[in-house]
């Protein structure tokens, strides 16, 4: 049993100096230690602006209508390896990129990670920010 969620890639842009390496890994789906995130590597691609996105599929896993280039910003699934994906991407992502998971189960929970552009990430979660009205 797993937690059904949608994994969103938000403003995940790969640094220019890392683009060739990430492109190679996405094409070959091979790199030491990345076997657990192989499904992500199969589905991930770059859009025309150089942001990391998902290839759309006909299997109903895309919660969005595909862009002209056939990509979507999120996919449904049981993303057990989400933190491993974030840990791999943190070393290549520019500042501000985020991976956000949103539950598609009854609880509606949301969580994720944000990249600082220096190889680090921090956890994200929903929290109250305003006063009661």
Owner of token pair 């991407």: 89
Distance (Å, rounded) from C-alpha 3 to C-alpha 21?
A: 31
Q: Please write the tens of the pLDDT for every residue from 1-49.
A: 467 899 999 999 999 999 999 999 999 877 778 888 999 999 999 988 8
Residues in CB range of 86: below 8 A, 6 or more apart = 99, 112, 113, 115, 121
Confidence (pLDDT) at 2:
60
Give the pTM: 0.89
Q: Please write the tens of the pLDDT for every residue from 62-98.
A: 888 888 888 999 999 999 999 999 999 999 999 999 9
Domain edges within the chain: 5-125
């Amino acid at each position: 049993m797993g937690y059904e969620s949608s994994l969103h890639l938000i403003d995940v842009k790969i640094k220019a100096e890392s683009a060739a390496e990430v492109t190679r890994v996405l094409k070959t789906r091979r790199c030491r230690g990345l076997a657990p995130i192989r499904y992500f590597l199969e589905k991930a691609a770059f859009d025309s602006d150089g942001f990391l996105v998902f290839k759309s599929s006909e299997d109903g896993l895309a919660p969005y209508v595909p862009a002209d280039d056939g990509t979507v910003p999120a996919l449904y699934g049981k993303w057990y390896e989400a933190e491993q994906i974030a840990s791999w991407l943190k070393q290549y992502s520019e500042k501000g990129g985020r991976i956000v998971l949103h539950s598609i189960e009854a609880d509606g929970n949301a969580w994720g990670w944000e990249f600082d552009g220096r190889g680090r990430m921090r956890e994200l979660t929903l929290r109250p920010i305003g006063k009661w009205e």
